[in-house]
Amino acid sequence: MPSFARARSIRLNVNQLHLTPPARGGEFPVLERLSFTNCRFDAGALISRCPRLRVLELICCRALDTITVHSATVEELLVTGEGRRLRGVDIVAPLLKKFTLHSDVSVDFSMSLLAPMVENLSWNCRFACWLDPHKAVGMRLGRGGGA
């Protein structure tokens, strides 16, 4: 993936392209907004190269099995995935204020969300329970710190 040192916003819409950041360099020092549609990449490796990233959109990135976003700067995160079976979401984002997750999920879906500043949460996960009626879909929400 090329580096764009002065880009503040990047929007890529490609058909199943696999993006790999270069081994060295490839920094995005002023990038604030990043949007991917229909592609595959290592989100963690890319996010670590974007020290000012505030908005991240992952739209129909079907090849991503698990979404991992660990960022000290991301404030908005959008994840959508029609027709794919997302297996997991792992988010550590202390400044995250808006989180949207709309996706089909697998039977073994798991989610870890550490985002104490979330103000706007939209979560629409679909599971084809008719495939195995003995499987249950559950959700546990809670706050840390004994609350």
Q: What digits encode the pLDDT tens for the residues 41-91?
A: 777 778 888 999 999 998 887 666 888 899 999 999 999 876 667 888 899
Do 18 and 38 touch, CB atoms closer than 8 A? no
Structural domain containing residue 107: 9-131
Task: Tell me the sheet residues that pair with 121.
Answer: 99
Domain count, the chain: 1
Task: Flag whether 147 is in a domain.
Answer: no
Regarding pTM above 0.85, the answer is no
Rg (CA), the chain: 16
The percent of residues in the chain predicted with pLDDT above 70, rounded, is 73
Quote the DSSP letter at residue 118: -
In a domain, 113, yes or no: yes
